Amino acid sequence: MDFIYNIAVYIARFHLKIIAQFNPKLKLGVVGRSEAFNKLSAIIKDDDKVMWFHCASLGEYEQGLPVFKVLRERYSDFKIVLSFFSPSGYEVRKNTPIADVVVYLPLDTKKNARRFLDITHPNFSVFVKYDIWPNYLLELKRRNLRAILISAAFRPNQSYFKFYGSRMRRALSAFEHIFVQNKNSKNLLKDINIHNVTLSGDTRYDRVYQQLEQNNTLDFIDEFKQNKTCVVIGSSWPEDEKLLVKYINNRSDERVKYIIAPHNIKAGQIETLKQSLNVDTALFSEKSNVVLKNCSVFIINTIGLLSKIYSYADIAYVGGAMGTTGLHNILEPAVFGTPIIIGKHYNKFPEANQMIEEAGVRSISTYNELENTLDQLLNDKTLAKQLGVFNRNFINKNKGAVIQITDYIRI
């Protein structure tokens, strides 16, 4: 199995280099990985004390950030290496102050693993959620270097729990401790004789709770909202927008404002979205040229503002689950005490399942269901407020993972 895995990595590397010539996103990763060792060597010296944080992408970075912040402050004499596998993480957070150097993780070959650890020689490593690379982890173990996995979530269909998953199981054994999100994950690890496990919950609850400590004021949103009821549509995809645009066009009401923050902000798709609306609509990029208070819809064609914008929501629709791209973060609006609507494909998201049962999240499958749900929440302020309170209480109940994790870490 080891031989097959290593051959597969080399084959993947060969094909990635070819495909990257025609795919700008893949090309960023290929070029970035080729520069990683030089970047590391320029910053990390032999006598440095080092911590290594690894995240697959931006979501995992946000998940790990509350832990990273504590460690950055507590171990201020350490240099921190932050690695990403995906361009969507690296390109957005390559200048984060949480780390001294940010790199793409070179592909998981034995040679790369040895070279990476020769340069970084981390005193302690933190992996977030699921990005498990056997050669790196087994090399950490061979060198007796400490590593933990945080906010992990496991499912029975993963390779760790299959007859062919021996290499991945050995990779998990490199972690001196694993902090999991739920009891099912702990039980699955127990079944493969991994017992150094703590049920700590999900650090994302701590992350979104910290948003309440920020200044979430946005003057242009105040100008747009004008104390009217505001529906925020966050991280929407075309499948979501098809239903929501129909609702907005059919239910035009001067008492209700809509903010749409699409996941994809390419100019062509933004223009298509704007043209599909039959009401006065403003774009963020053109906000200085329009009177925002006179508009019914505000399209946010930029990134980095959604967490604050959710603080203005009286109702939130979180995208991704009407299609198959994956539900986006419902915890961000929940922390502000906002009732939430999502699409139908949410089963792979434990927090969605729980919040539908225990809190204030409603799932819809069709336009008629969206229409009925939005009508109900817009007309019944008491119900909307109650569902929002349920969501805020759910966040409060589930935060605290960061304390458990950081209390464990002693370097």
Exposure on the CB side of residue 147, measured as CA atoms within 13 A:
27
pLDDT digits over 149-192, tens only? 999 999 999 999 998 888 899 999 999 999 999 999 999 999 99
pLDDT digits over 3-37, tens only? 778 787 777 776 767 776 777 777 787 777 889 99
Reported as a pLDDT band with limits 50, 70 and 90, residue 304 is confident
Q: Nearest 5°: phi and psi at 75?
A: -120, 60
pLDDT attached to residue 105: 96
pTM metric for this prediction: 0.83
Contacts of 187 (CB under 8 A, 6+ apart): none
Question: Whose CA is closest to 125, among 149, 105, 106?
Answer: 149
Q: DSSP code of 77?
A: T
Amino acid found at 1: M
Say if residues 411 and 75 touch (Cβ distance below 8 Å).
yes
pLDDT attached to residue 16: 67
pLDDT greater than 80 at residue 384? yes
